[in-house]
DNA sequence: GCCAACGTTGGC
DNA sequence: GCCAACGTTGGC
């Protein structure tokens, strides 16, 4: 059939296709003989009407629907002999319209490639060409939304493949919707025929581009390589078929010239090669997606199972899948465990070192926390000591006289205040602004010992206040100061050292040490808070490391990964801890 | 109003 | 000239 180079296939051949839609040339003679014998035996003459044209003509190439078993002329429905070679199961338009689950099934792409390459003549089937051009004209006349011929398998495809670049870009497949193009497998094969075919008939859209590019790519592609590595989609090939009206011979010559030209150009244009690599990537993606179409029933992979696998699965049932997985674990895991124990693992060593480091840091942080707790106790003791002291009025008067005329600017509001009242003003000013901002959390603080947070619960918001307790202007009331209370702030000997002597001015009037106790507590609390946050951070890091370690040693980790010693002559050594 | 996907455009 | 990006549009 293919080697004969005839454009017309007899009904005899057509009948032969009932068993095999595609018959290898060497087997064709046998099939013809067989059909002839059958015809003679049954006296079948052929007055029946076929196809959508309802003619009895069966001297042209025909293809039968595998659902309704009606026969169609290739040129009437736009299927060439070449197409038929790659089709495993063909369903006519009427059947596909009635039952959308029916899809034309294609054969193994390798085989198809081999044959299609060997039969250039059929590629330029005249009828097919006419059919395509009619379709194209029809489509061009329609509006923007019509990019579908409605007759090719791509147009009949209802679902996105989810694997091509356009699908991956779609939001439903987790993309960011940049490309906004239709699934490659759903792009009409009759739309956007190569521009060489008919001037500038179609706009250069994504789909068309891709296909034209692919055709170019095919031309350049080493046939042997293509044979081994690339499975060609029948749709793409089909479009190239209709791209020229030249005779096969002319086409061949043209192709030669083209490939020669390309051979010359290649070294000069690095950009071209870049494009090609991207094309090859895209092509692989398309082919990957096409592989899903290969619905050849195959045997279940389950151990000792002879049932056919479910569609799109390797197994006939979940049980078989589990069975195989289990047997894999039994077979692989023991050796992996053995290997794990015998070979060193750098990741594991690094993790251990990190854990040790984290442990040290945790100890340090806890030590600091204890020191800070001690500081609070010291402060309490200091305050207690101050309570037993009596007010010394002279000190108060002397200080007041000294600085009456100096003034400074408030760091919070910027207004000018006298130095005497500066601390008091700034404290009040700070509290005023602080009260305007809220810090809330839905969680109550859980800290060993005294919490430094306010943790006032707001039942309306169902949240806890996260200001420092000592500084919270909203929920912590200023303690009432007794008129007889002494300031009690330790007076520093010099700038950095604190003396034993305490300020004995009345607490209410001491302008030098206003709120000293509160600020000191806040300072200590802030340091405690930092240490707690550090501990939290260390804990998180430790958790992550431990998780990584357990994953590495877990069943899944052992099954999936393996350490390979690429240089057995100098075996790997664990770095000493 | 949402969404698929067409058609245009600017950068390379 | 190619192509990623995105504004736009028609269908639902």
How much is the pLDDT for A553?
A: 81
Strands (E), A415-551: 416-418, 440-441, 457-458, 463-465, 490-492, 498-502
CA distance A475 to A375: 25
Residues with CB under 7 A from strand C: A 143-145, 178-181, 204, 206, 209, 212-213, 275, 278-279
Q: Using the CA of A205, which nucleotide's C1' is the nearest one?
A: B7
HSE-CB for A472 with a 13 A CA cutoff: 19
How much is the pLDDT for A108?
A: 53
How much is the pLDDT for A541?
A: 92
- The whole-angstrom distance between residue A360's C-alpha and the CA centroid of its chain comes to 38
CB atoms within 10 A of CB A573: 7
How much is the pLDDT for A10?
A: 34
**A191 CA to C2 C1', in Å?**
20
How much is the pLDDT for A510?
A: 85
* Closest by CA position to A291, among listed A452, A123, A105, A91: A105
**A166 CA to B11 C1', in Å?**
21
**A166 CA to B8 C1', in Å?**
19
Q: Which two tokens stand for residue A520?
A: 């000191």
Cβ–Cβ under 8 Å, residues A93 and A104 = no
How much is the pLDDT for A186?
A: 82
Strand order through the sheet with A440-441? A440-441, A463-465, A457-458
How much is the pLDDT for A366?
A: 95
How much is the pLDDT for A25?
A: 34
A175-192 per-position pLDDT tens digit: 888 888 888 878 876 664
How much is the pLDDT for A245?
A: 33
CA distance A210 to A278: 11
**A158 CA to B1 C1', in Å?**
24
Which of chain B's bases lie under 7 Å from a protein CB? 4-8
How much is the pLDDT for A15?
A: 35
Q: Which two tokens stand for residue A62?
A: 């025909």
How much is the pLDDT for A526?
A: 93
CA distances from A116 to A80, A111, A318, A375, A441 (A): 12, 9, 39, 88, 69
Cα-Cα end-to-end distance for chain A: 75
Buried/exposed code over A18-46 (b: 16+ C-beta within 10 A; e: otherwise): eeebbbeeeebeebbeebeeeeeeeeeee
Cβ–Cβ under 8 Å, residues A213 and A240 = no
CA distance A121 to A248: 5
How much is the pLDDT for A128?
A: 47
Confidence (pTM): 0.44
A34-81 per-position pLDDT tens digit: 333 333 333 343 456 666 666 667 777 777 877 777 777 777 676 777
SS3 A40: helix
Low-confidence ranges of chain A (pLDDT < 70): 1-56, 76, 78, 82-83, 86, 97-98, 100, 107-146, 189-297, 393-405, 571-577
Q: Using the CA of A187, which nucleotide's C1' is the nearest one?
A: B5
Q: Using the CA of A276, which nucleotide's C1' is the nearest one?
A: C2
CA distance A87 to A62: 13
CA distance A16 to A33: 10
CA distance A462 to A24: 78
User: Taking the C1' atom of C11, which residue's CA lies nearest?
Assistant: A145
């Amino acid at each position: 059939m293919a080697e004969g180079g005839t454009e017309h296939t007899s009904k005899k051949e057509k009948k032969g296709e009932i068993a095999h839609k595609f018959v290898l040339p060497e087997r064709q003679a046998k099939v013809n003989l067989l059909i002839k014998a059958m015809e003679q035996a049954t006296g079948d003459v052929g007055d029946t009407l076929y196809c959508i044209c309802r003619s009895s003509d069966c001297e042209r190439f025909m293809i039968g629907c595998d659902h309704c078993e009606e026969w169609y002329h290739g040129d009437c429905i736009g299927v060439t002999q070449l197409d038929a070679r790659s089709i495993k199961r063909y369903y006519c338009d009427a059947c596909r319209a009635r039952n959308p689950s029916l899809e034309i099934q294609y054969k193994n792409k390798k085989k198809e490639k081999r044959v299609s390459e060997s039969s250039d003549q059929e590629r330029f089937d005249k009828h097919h060409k006419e059919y395509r051009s009619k379709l194209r004209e029809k489509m061009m006349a329609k509006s923007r939304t019509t990019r579908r011929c409605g007759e090719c398998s791509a147009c009949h495809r209802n679902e996105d493949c989810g694997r091509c670049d356009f699908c991956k870009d779609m939001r439903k497949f987790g993309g960011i919707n940049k490309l906004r193009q239709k699934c490659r497998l759903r792009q009409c094969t009759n739309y956007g025929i190569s521009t060489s075919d008919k001037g500038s008939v179609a706009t250069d859209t994504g789909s068309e581009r891709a296909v034209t590019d692919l055709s170019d790519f095919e031309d350049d592609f080493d046939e042997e390589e293509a044979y081994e590595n690339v499975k060609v989609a029948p749709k793409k090939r089909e479009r190239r078929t209709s791209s020229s009206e030249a005779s096969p011979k002319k086409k061949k010559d043209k192709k030669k010239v083209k490939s020669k030209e390309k051979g010359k150009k290649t070294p000069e244009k690095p950009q071209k090669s870049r494009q090609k690599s991207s094309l090859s990537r895209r092509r692989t993606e398309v082919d990957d997606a096409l592989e899903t179409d290969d619905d050849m029933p195959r045997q279940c992979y389950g151990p000792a199972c002879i049932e056919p696998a479910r569609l799109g699965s390797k197994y006939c049932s979940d049980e078989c899948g589990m069975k195989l997985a289990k047997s894999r674990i039994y077979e692989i895991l023991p050796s992996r465990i053995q290997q794990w124990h015998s070979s060193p693992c750098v990741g594991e060593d690094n993790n251990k070192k990190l854990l040790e480091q984290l442990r040290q840091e945790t100890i340090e942080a806890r030590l600091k926390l204890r020191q800070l707790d001690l500081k609070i106790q010291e402060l309490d003791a200091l305050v207690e000591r101050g309570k037993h002291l009596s007010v010394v009025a002279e000190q108060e008067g002397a200080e007041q006289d000294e600085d009456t005329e100096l003034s400074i600017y408030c760091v919070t509001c910027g207004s000018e205040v006298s130095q005497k009242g500066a601390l008091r003003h700034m404290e009040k000013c700070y509290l005023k602004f602080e009260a305007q901002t809220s810090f809330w959390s839905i969680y109550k603080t859980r800290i060993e010992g005294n919490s430094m947070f306010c943790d006032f619960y707001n039942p309306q918001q169902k949240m806890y206040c996260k200001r420092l307790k000592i500084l919270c202007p909203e929920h912590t009331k200023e303690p009432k100061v007794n008129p007889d209370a002494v300031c009690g702030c330790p007076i520093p000997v010099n700038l950095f050292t604190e003396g034993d002597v305490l300020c004995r001015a009345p607490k209410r009037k001491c302008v030098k040490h206003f709120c000293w106790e509160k600020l000191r507590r806040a300072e200590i609390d802030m340091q405690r808070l930092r240490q707690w946050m550090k501990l939290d951070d260390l804990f998180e890091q430790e958790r992550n490391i431990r998780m990584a370690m357990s994953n590495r040693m877990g069943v899944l980790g052992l099954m999936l990964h393996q350490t390979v010693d690429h240089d057995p002559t100098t075996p790997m050594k664990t770095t000493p801890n």
